[in-house]
Chains A and B, each alone.
Chain A
Amino acid sequence: MAKPLIATQHLTSCFGCHMSILDIDDRILKLAKMVDFDRSPINDIKEFTWPVDIGIIEGGVSNDEHVEILKDFRKNCKVLIGIGSCAVANSVPSMRNTVPLKECLEEAYLNGPTIVDGGIIPNDEDIPILLDKVYPLHEVVKIDYFLPGCPPSADTIWNALVALLTGKELEFPYELIKYD
């Protein structure tokens, strides 16, 4: 029987949650025996080869490209997990949500203290268009499981993956679920 397939993706985030996936240390050898990786920054595959069993998304949704990626993941993943505070709740990227987008861009590109001789707000058709707010995943598509944390610890991710792959319920000891 073919091994279950996993795909991962990062949106607006620091890549810390993917670092936390790698932080499972030598258990990654066990993981490699249990699953195969499809689309993921870990192997640099950028499109789905075929539909997968588990999709893992890190980061908030902040531009139109993220919305497309997220919808693509929802379409191609049987189970979709949001990992990390940016993906599942309010975090650093969503701090811009209480400031209008126009003011954010003007501060960054026109009026900021490091701007010399006036600036320009990037407006190339190849650059994804920013959304008005940064959204957690579940405000855009249905998410099946949430793993909070900044980042969730390697043990939290490992416990969740093992539970899903062996058909057990996701249960965590107190110290493994934290919002920071």
Chain B
Amino acid sequence: MSQETVTFTLDGVKVKATKGQTIMEAADAAGIYIPRLCWHKDLPSGGNCRICTVMVNGRPAGSCLFPVEDGIVVENNTKQLKDHRCQVVEMHFIEGNHYCPSCEASGECELQALGYYTQMLTPTSPYLRPKYEVDASHPDVYIDRDRCILCGRCIRASEFLDGKCVFSFEGRGIHKRISVNAEHNLGETNMEASDRAATICPTGALMIKRTGYRIPVGKRRFDIHPIGWDIEKKKKSG
């Protein structure tokens, strides 16, 4: 069966896509980076973080979920959307307790990288300084909820890639937390360090023990190239 091709407009440029693709998938294929946090290539889209919001025919939509259609007009790289994304990144920083200078995830963290991408020099709103619990009960993996941005990647990875359902959300609104499928803590679950969920966290909220600070400063993932560089590279190299 041949795949139906559609054409839509992305920031004024005509982009060809396959029917059934999301706007983000089509943009990636065309070498246009749309910032994202909760999305991961091996997982079903979550639509939690709202960083990838674009304007579709003048209305906001999550590009990781919205399917391409023939003739739609999509805006991505506008001042309004850039400001929106910077605000969302700022809110993530003030709602958690992110100590970048001492964090093992620094340089590898996608939230931090999006801060650089959106040119956030510092969060300008007051910090909320919430009290969160660290769960270090597991011999090989720990949860530091200070760094959790509630993207749900670990939940989806555990369910769809590992077939385990180790994680879930609990609470609502500002009280929302990542929780584990056990009476007390992560150590009681069937989580293993080899699970995909253990390495899928975009920040340092879910980390494998005894692996931090191994890559020297200057050689980490986002030290040299900005996030999305690999996608934009496709366009530059044709």
Contact = CB atoms under 8 A, between A and B. Distances in A.
A26 B13 CA distance: 48
A91 B101 contact: yes
Contact of A88 (B99, B119, B121, B126): B121
Nearest to B94: A90
B39 to A, nearest CB: 22
A94 to B, nearest CB: 7
Contacts of B107: 180
Interface in B76-108: 93, 97-103, 106-107
Contacts of A147: 121
Contact of B122 (A148, A175, A180): A148
A92 B116 contact: no
Interface string A149-161: 0100000000000
Contact of B132 (A98, A133, A148, A177): A98
Interface size bucket, A side? Answer: 20 to 34
B190 to A, nearest CB: 30
Interface residues of B, number: 30
A98 B144 CA distance: 13
Contacts of A89: 93, 98, 100, 122-123
B126 A139 contact: yes
A97 B127 CA distance: 10
Contact of A174 (B115, B116, B124, B146): B116
B126 A85 contact: no
Nearest to B99: A90
B188 interface: no
A178 interface: yes
A146 interface: yes
B131 interface: yes
Nearest to A87: B122
Contact of B106 (A82, A92, A145, A179): A179
A136 B90 CA distance: 15
B137 to A, nearest CB: 19
A178 B116 contact: yes
Interface in A102-159: 133, 136, 138-139, 145-148, 150
Contacts of A98: 97, 129-132, 146
Contacts of B146: 98
A90 B121 contact: no
Given A92-B101, A177-B121, 19 more contacts: A88-B121, A89-B98, A89-B100, A90-B98, A91-B99, A91-B102, A94-B99, A95-B102, A138-B122, A138-B124, A145-B121, A146-B122, A150-B101, A175-B223, A178-B116, A178-B223, A179-B106, A179-B115, A180-B106
Closest 5 CB pairs of A and B: A150-B101, A179-B100, A146-B121, A88-B122, A180-B106
